Amino acid sequence: MANARRSGFRRLGVDLTDRSTIMQVMTPSADTQTRILESARELIHARSYADVGVTAICEHAGVNKGSFYHFFPSKRDLTIAVLDTYYLEMKEQLLDRAFSSDIPPLQRLERLAVLIYEFQKEVADRAGHILGCPFGNLAVELSTQDEPIRRKVAEIFARLRADIRQTLEEAVETGAVQGIDVGATAEAMLAYFEGVMLMAKTRNDPDVLRQLLPALAQIRIAHPGD
């Protein structure tokens, strides 16, 4: 997104002369931009890329179509920006919480499983449907059609894999596991996670997550030299 724009204030229905309520980050335009982003985030996750038109995104954001194309050159570019916001949220809400060093590495993976379950359950209660993983959803729908979006998801998957891998490396250091290919195991765990989300979405049943997600921490791929 490269948020080069700054300066300016943002009204939130409060007295602008009260300096304490000033939020420096968002200009009025960034506000519109943000509303478009959040609208798209919500709608695309709940439905699909193809099913959500630019018009619908604008209506839901309370913005005119012209404004949309003032901030985003295309629906594709918007989607790539949306993917970044998805990752940011996942990082803050799930990864950082699960992977803090207060418990042993493998237990952190189990905690991640619990957090994901709770998160998906909550979203499902709101949306009336299990929505699955926003990355996996877009990857499946668009990988064969839109190369930049495919690459973006692949990039995010690589980051997630790196996070899991680091946790696995700690597990190896502490002796909790041995003889595993940490890279391949991290990838396998990510794949398993995506598959479980897919199954839960298809069955539209959060219990699938409760039943299957804990096994995430038990997946192992042996070191090539074995």
Closest CA to 195 of 131, 136, 138, 113: 136
- The rounded distance, in Å, linking the Cα atoms of 74 and 89 is 23
CA-to-CA separations, 31 to 56, 107, 138, in angstroms, rounded: 18, 40, 25
Tokens 């997630």 sit on residue: 160
**Footprint of a second copy on 157-216 (CB under 8 A):** 157, 184, 187-188, 190-196, 198-199, 201-204, 208, 211-212, 215
x/- string (CB under 7 A) for DNA, residues 4-33? -x-xxx-----------------xxxxxx-
- The rounded distance, in Å, linking the Cα atoms of 197 and 202 is 9
Among a second copy, DNA, none, partner that 113 touches (CB below 5 to 8 angstroms by kind): none
Considering the rule CB under 7 A, would residue 145 count as an interface residue with DNA? no
Q: According to CB under 7 A, which one of 55, 93, 174, 218 is a site residue for DNA?
A: 55
Residue 54 or 140 having the CB closest to a second copy: 140
Among DNA, a second copy, none, partner that 30 touches (CB below 5 to 8 angstroms by kind): DNA
Residue 69 or 119 having the CB closest to DNA: 69
Among DNA, a second copy, none, partner that 155 touches (CB below 5 to 8 angstroms by kind): none
Helix 28-46 crosses helix 54-61 at what angle (to 10 degrees)?
Answer: 120
80: amino acid identity, one letter: I
x/- string (CB under 8 A) for a second copy, residues 25-64? ---------------------xxxxxx-------------
CA-to-CA separations, 156 to 85, 98, 124, 148, in angstroms, rounded: 11, 18, 23, 12
DSSP string, 34-71: HHHHHHHHHHHHHS-TTTS-HHHHHHHHT--HHHHHHH
Count of alpha carbons within 13 angstroms of residue 206, beta-carbon side? 19
Among a second copy, DNA, none, partner that 201 touches (CB below 5 to 8 angstroms by kind): a second copy
Point out which residues bind DNA (CB under 7 A).
5, 7-9, 27-32, 50, 52-56, 63-71, 73-76
Point out which residues bind a second copy (CB under 8 A).
46-51, 127, 129-132, 136-137, 139-145, 150, 153-154, 157, 184, 187-188, 190-196, 198-199, 201-204, 208, 211-212, 215, 218-221
